[in-house]
Amino acid sequence: MTTSPGTHPIAEEVLARIGDFYDIENPIRGAPPDGHKTIRQRQIEPKIEALGRW
């Protein structure tokens, strides 16, 4: 696989996936801890598991 200078597909993919975490976290910032935990378990944990498998 050839990439152009400055293009790193693996790094770009990881950064996009990390961006997904922030997209989930931003709206719940400042919410009660129980709410954070529930949302994280429901929405972020599967994405972390998928990242680990990837």
Q: What is the pLDDT of residues 2-22, one digit of tens each?
A: 556 677 999 999 999 999 999
- The yes-or-no verdict on residue 34 having pLDDT over 70 is yes
HSE-up of residue 43 (Cα within 13 Å, Cβ side): 17
CA geometry: angle 10, 3, 8, nearest 5 deg: 25
Question: Which token pair is 18?
Answer: 């990390």
CA geometry: angle 12, 27, 38, nearest 5 deg: 95
Question: Which token pair is 51?
Answer: 């990242």
Instruction: Please name the amino acid found at residue 53.
Output: R
- The yes-or-no verdict on residue 1 having pLDDT over 60 is no
